Amino acid sequence: MLSLLLLLYWTFTKIGLFTLGGGYAMIPLMEAEIINRYGWLTAPEFLDILAIAEMTPGPVAINTASFVGFRVAGIAGSALATLGVVTPSLVILLLLGRFLQQLIRNPHATLFLKGLHPAVIALICLAVFSLGQEALTDLTTALIAAVFLAVNLMRKLSPFLIIGLGALLGLLFFPY
């Protein structure tokens, strides 16, 4: 149990450390570690947790960490996973606080960061690809994803509305 808790903490510390740009940028790494590496969740379960994270207040990374931690090891797991996500931010900002201004103005750091951004975009596209294969199981789900994406690109809708409509369509068209 103790080693599982430590593993949770360490995994979410890694996820916090390699999250850049916030929000959905941490999904690829979560997918790689939580689904593919440790099998703590299946891909559909992961998508369900993202939906819950989106519908509850607070940063998505915190919500997801709390949920996965609870699922794997109860309240203690939840607390350690959440602390894990927080740790890199705290350590970096507290220890480097004063130097960060200069550090991010350093030309090499700027170039490195400029290369990281395309990598993050590439990874999110990959996550769309792999999670899409799990979520789009038939024509109905493929249509839901396609229509929502098209509409959202034309006119940005609230995630609440999109998830709510998805739930409604699910109730209507689920192959009971």
Q: Three-state DSSP class for 174?
A: coil
Handedness of CA 53, 125, 151, 137 (dihedral sign): negative
Tokens of 142: 């493929």
How near is the Cβ of 132 to other proteins at its closest, in Å?
A: 5
Site for other proteins in 135-174 (CB under 8 A): 135-136, 141-142, 144-146, 148-149, 152-153, 156, 159-160, 162-163, 165-174
Using alpha carbons only, what angle is made at residue 134 by residues 132 and 135, rounded to the nearest 5 degrees?
65
- The correct pick among 6, 20, 42, 102 for binding other proteins (CB under 8 A) is 20
- Told to check if 126 binds other proteins by CB under 8 A, we report yes
Which of 38, 44, 32, 34 has its CA nearest to residue 124? 32
As a whole number of angstroms, the distance between CA 24 and CA 45 comes to 17
Q: Which helix (H) or strand (E) holds 143?
A: helix 139-154
How near is the Cβ of 6 to other proteins at its closest, in Å?
A: 19
As a whole number of angstroms, the distance between CA 14 and CA 34 comes to 12
How near is the Cβ of 4 to other proteins at its closest, in Å?
A: 17
* Cβ-based neighbour number of residue 43 at 10 Å: 17
- Told to check if 57 binds other proteins by CB under 8 A, we report yes
- Told to check if 76 binds other proteins by CB under 8 A, we report no
Q: For other proteins, which is the closer residue by CB, 7 or 128?
A: 128
Tokens of 74: 């109860």
How near is the Cβ of 38 to other proteins at its closest, in Å?
A: 13
How near is the Cβ of 157 to other proteins at its closest, in Å?
A: 9
Site for other proteins in 83-122 (CB under 8 A): 85-86, 88-90, 92-94, 96-97, 100-101, 104, 107-108, 110-122
- The correct pick among 6, 42, 44, 102 for binding other proteins (CB under 8 A) is 44
